[in-house]
Amino acid sequence: MREITEVILHCSATWSKQDIGAKEIENWHTMPKSKGGRGWAHIGYHFVIRRNGKIENGCPIATAGIHCSGHNAKSIGICMVGGGPMGEDNNFTDAQFHSLSFLLTQIRNNYPLTTIHGHNEFAQKACPVFSVAKFLAEYGIPKDPWDCQRWPHFKPKEFSALWGKGKMPQIWEQSLDALERLRTAYGKPLVITKSEWNDDFQRMIIDLRIPASARAVVTKRAIDAGFISSRATDTGVRVYMEKV
Ligand SMILES: [Zn+2]
């Protein structure tokens, strides 16, 4: 599976009365250039949101889309139907914005480290014609989950390993909160060497690289920080987190 770090929002640049969906856009994208199409192998977007709010599938998420130059390999592309042929008209329906917020929440559950953008952030275009920042604020969706400053000392890269392929935002957040408390108590950065969700024990297991001289104190502090257990290892400290 490719690594996904961005969600990019687009519009179809069609009039409000044009009730089109993924099928029509797929035709435009796959029709040969000689017939006025783009001549692509598949539809460029992963999702299309119709005028009535219905979410339709485009190409599979595992496949890189064709929607934003330089960003296709690592992003998911969503197309809102509407916006006007010249990108002049924010004519989208409430149903569409509602569905968009639902879809973004689902995507974040699966890809929690993604940031959300309008196409116009990466190209000299009006697309998606509406203000993404305003929409996200209205629906309470963070543009960048790391902007919240909740875990100021950890960066997405360090945590892509912690998250792995998991789909457990709750235990992930709990673990980050506890790591942040542990880091504060320890007074030094924590280096995560391994992390995994253990299905049998229903626990998150995180290995930290800690110098031998500090292992005993970090093992104890980990419990104060909220981990359910901890023990010293050959290279540092292993901590465990359980869902509350
Ligand atoms: Zn676009």
Regarding whether 20 and 131 lie in a shared domain, the answer is: yes
pTM of the model: 0.68
List 42, 54, 74, 125, catalytic entry: 125
Which residues of 15-166 form beta strands (DSSP E)? 47-49, 55-57, 75-80, 115-118
What pLDDT does residue 228 have?
Answer: 95
Q: Are residues 22 and 113 in the same domain?
A: yes
Contact assessment for residue 161 and residue 113, using Cβ atoms and an 8 Å cutoff:
no
Q: What is the CATH number of the domain that holds 69?
A: 3.40.80.10
Task: Say if residue 17 is in the same domain as residue 117.
Answer: yes
Q: From ligand 1's centre to the CA of 119, what distance in Å?
A: 5
pLDDT of residue 152: 57
Number of domains the chain contains: 2
pLDDT at residue 149, rounded to an integer: 52
- Counting every residue written for the chain, the total comes to 244
Clarify whether residues 92 and 160 are in a common domain.
no
- Each residue's pLDDT tens digit, 217-228: 999 999 999 999
* pLDDT one-digit tens code per residue, 103-113: 998 898 788 77
Instruction: Annotate 4-31 with DSSP letters as a single string.
Output: --EEEEEE--B-TT----HHHHHHHHHS
CA of 225 to the centre of ligand 1 (A): 45
Q: Say what the pLDDT of residue 223 is.
A: 97
Instruction: For the chain of 244 residues, list the mean pLDDT of each consecutive stretch of 10.
Output: 90 95 98 96 98 96 97 97 86 94 87 89 95 92 67 55 52 82 88 77 87 96 96 96 82
Q: What is the pLDDT of residue 177?
A: 85
Same structural domain, 132 and 160: no
Catalytic residue among 10, 29, 46, 117: 10
Residue 125 CA from chain centroid, whole number: 23
- Looking at residue 114, what is its pLDDT? 86
Cα–ligand 1 centroid distance for 186 (angstroms): 46
pLDDT of residue 166: 47
The per-residue pLDDT for 75 is: 96
Q: What is the pLDDT of residue 148?
A: 44
